[in-house]
Structure 1
Amino acid sequence: GAAVINLGIGSPDLPPHAEVIHTLQAESSKPTVHAYQGYKGVQALREAVATWYNKWYGVTLDPATEILPLLGSKEGIMHICMTYLNEGDEALIPNPGYPTYRSAVTLAGGTCIEYKLTEEDEWQPDFEALEKTDLSRVKLMWVNYPHMPTGQLPTDALFQKLVVFGRKHNILICHDNPYSFILNENPKSLLAAEGAKEVVLELNSSSKSHNMAGWRVGMLCGGKERIEEVLRFKSNMDSGMFLPVQLAAAKALALDEGWHSSLNEQYAKRREKVFELLDLIDCNYAKNQAGMFVWAKVPANQKDGYALSDEILQNAKVFITPGGIFGSEGNNYIRVSLCSTVGNIDAAINRIKTSLGK
């Protein structure tokens, strides 16, 4: 059949900075770097993470005790669930939200309790509704801002509410924060909220911010006791990260504002093209979304996002992600990835125009 233009995938298509690649090449050529590494990562990487958090988020972290490098932040989701959940325990997960939260909770033996996020509430938790819920068995709450798939940015007030909620109910707030540098001039960390280290673990990643998705470099940040608890589980799951990758990641985290500005300039151009595509199919969307996707509400004449996605795929050979795969609250939405060239998005627009007879 005809080749499909895929506007669904969320994997960065751009390369890391040249200096990062050079560091990997240079370090890999050394004969002494190929052994197993420590579970906590090398000091150079942990110090780079600490400096990065202080510079961009205004958060002070002790590199010796409050940072745990990960083989990608996705594994951290599993590590956290396996560390804190037993059969009968519950975890709050967002609807819509990243499907891996549900998978990891379930694999750990826990039970998922959905909390709804709606456009009317700006994709933020309804704390009044949560307070009326039986929270006695809830151990974790998964949150993610800038939110995937909606692109909703966080506010300081929201982050403070999450900390207060976690403290009140003895719930560990797990913040997944990989999108804070993409099309966002004000990166935020939940750990910057007052009292956060008592009740928050935050995952972060170089995948999106530094185009290193395939390198698998993430980090877990939080209070010393929490890091030690997760480390006890993690140390039974891997044998550390390849040293040259750690040193290259440290180089990446030291990049200045110019790197992020250049990257976002490209994403901004792609986003304008995606807006053009969405206007063509009569979808509604907010223009202030962050992250590498655009979230849009389907027109009233469509049954749901699945129907619109299927129609475009069949008639134009363009794939757009139906929002329902992220939860029932996403049923009337679609998500378009920015991980595709302007030329590719233009080609998709032309195919859709042809299919619509425009």
Structure 2
Amino acid sequence: MIATAKRLEGIGEYYFSQKLREIDELNKQGKNIINLGIGSPDLPPHPDVIKVLNEESVKPNVHAYQNYKGSPVLRKAFADWYQTWYHVTLNPDTEILPLIGSKEGIMHICMTYLNEGDEVLLPNPGYPTYRSAVKLAGGVCVDYDLKEENNYYPDFAALEQKDLSKVKLMWVNYPHMPTGQLASVEMYQQLIAFAKKHSILICHDNPYSFILNDNPMSLLSLDGAKDVVLELNSLSKSQNMAGWRVGVLCAAKERIDEVLRFKSNMDSGMFLPVQLAAAKALSLGKDWYDSVNKVYRERRAKVYELLDALNCIYSKDQVGLFMWARIPDIYKDGYALSDDVLYNSNVFITPGGIFGSAGEKYIRISLCGSIEKFEEAIKRVKNK
């Protein structure tokens, strides 16, 4: 027998990959499961974006390998987008690296900077891919708890009590997934000061800043941020382009050059028409974001009804593609509630425990579904 690499020890199959297979089996039994778990936008990109893709794809000279740093057109579009919406000035030639989705950037960063035994601060609750990428790169995961009573911000006093001598990276994510918590300027300032004091690179994952949020913010907009911050962003949520796989890494030239050393050995760039269509998506104005958020606002109102039917407690100040809610005391944890609703109401809701131990008493519901789907889910839960 050929054994798998040791780096896969402790790395399980992604939770949603497993759960989707179970849901498929239930559907084959005629259950017709309503899936409210995954944040995959069900709305299309702007028609002009699809038009650019169609027009560019039929040209005979666009099918070759592409520049490892991405098309200059796309890099300039990202720079303009950051300037317009985040008030951040970036050099498109040196401070922007397009990615085949920002999820690959998480792995690129970990593989670029981590040696065996290097420690990484990870949010709990937080996106599970951070943990997987750190482990695959040989790093050691060190949780920092995010608590509701502290607005899901890092507890810097508690962090200062830790031995930080081996910490090389710290993953942060605001607007936060899964809790929907917005960042504050004051917290970001503390974060930058903390990173400088301890020589830690802050890796900020920022894909949700346009969803149900009137004031998109980048960590790079703070003074001194480029000294210690790498920021990932994505078109998956803000432009309804999840399947197109277009993301970006923004950072100082030195950081971009370092990550490119790894990335250039892993892929050969994106299909040029996709890059040109993405550039068009980045040029869209406020009307586009308003139209997307109008839909999500209406859906969120239905999710409030569903959470009320489940007797959950939640804040209406959340932003992003999900609603995060504390479960009632009758359930041991979010897994118990999720299974109850799945097997007795044929509705799938994500248990908060998949995001870390701090999420065990919570659930998360995606806004990626039609009004009709939410209304049917509400009816099924009430009639259980």
Question: What range describes the TM-score normalised by the shorter chain of this pair?
Answer: over 0.9
Distance in 2 between residues matched to 1:166 and 1:227, nearest whole Å: 18
Q: 1:21 aligns with which of 44, 50, 58?
A: 50
CA–CA distance in 2 between the matches of 1:85 and 1:326?
22
Shift of 1:3: 1.2
Tell me the SS of whatever aligns to 1:220: strand
Per-residue CA deviations over 1:59-98 (Å, capped at 9, x if unaligned) read: 0000010000000000000000000001010100000000
2:60 equivalent among 6, 19, 31: 31
Match of residue 90, structure 1, among 112, 119, 139:
119
Of 109, 127, 131, the match for 1:102? 131
Amino acid at match of 2:320: G
The correspondence for 1:221, drawn from 228, 250, 263, is: 250
How do 1:103-252 residues align onto structure 2 when only pairs under 5 Å count? 103-252=132-281
Which residue matches 1:319? Answer: 348
The one-letter amino acid of 1:108's match is A
1:292 lines up with 2:321 in the alignment: yes
Please give the alpha-carbon distance, in whole angstroms, between the structure 1 residues aligned to 2:229 and 2:278: 24
**Partners in 1 of 2:147 and 2:332 — Cα distance?**
18
SS at match of 1:175: strand
CA distance in structure 1 between the partners assigned to 2:333 and 2:104 by the alignment: 32
Residue of structure 2 equivalent to 1:9: 38
**TM-aligned CA deviation for residue 314 of structure 1:** 1.4
Q: Which runs of 4+ in 1 moved over 2 A?
A: none
Match of 2:108 among 63, 74, 79: 79
Task: Name the SS of the counterpart of 2:209 in structure 1.
Answer: coil
In 1, the alpha carbon distance for the partners of 2:118 and 2:228 equals 17
Three-state SS of the structure 1 residue aligned to 2:369 is coil
Distance 1:286 1:187 in 2: 20
Q: Which residue of 1 aligns with 2:3?
A: none
Deviates more, 1:308-317 or 1:68-77: 308-317
CA distance in 2, matches of 1:80, 1:174: 8
Question: Following TM superposition, by how much is the alpha carbon of 1:140 offset from its aligned partner in structure 2, in angstroms?
Answer: 0.2
Match of 1:120, SS state, is helix
Letter in 2 for 1:35: A
Aligned to 1:264: 293
C-alpha separation in 1, matches of 2:190 and 2:53: 41
Amino acid of the structure 2 residue aligned with 1:342: I
The number of residue pairs the alignment matches comes to 355
Mapped to 1, the partners of 2:286 and 2:223 lie a distance apart of: 27
SS at 1:324 equivalent: helix
Q: 1:49 aligns with which of 58, 78, 81?
A: 78
Whole-angstrom CA distance in 2 between matches of 1:72 and 1:302: 36
Superposed counterparts of 1:324-343, under 5 Å: 324-343=353-372
In structure 1, distance between residues paired with 2:99 and 2:214? 26
**Offset of residue 300 of structure 1:** 1.7
1:34-54 per-position Cα deviation (integer Å, ceiling 9, x unaligned): 000011001110000000001
Deviations 1:315-345 (A, max 9, x none): 1010100000000000000000000001001
Matched position secondary structure for 1:8: coil
Deviations 1:80-124 (A, max 9, x none): 000000101010000000000000000000000000001011101
* CA offset digits 1:159-184 (Å, max 9, x no partner): 11111111110000000000000000
Compute the TM-score of the two structures, normalised by the length of structure 2.
Answer: 0.92
Listed one character per residue, the Cα deviations across residues 213-238 of structure 1 (whole Å, up to 9, x for unaligned) are 00000000010000000001100000
2: CA distance between counterparts of 1:302 and 1:151?
23
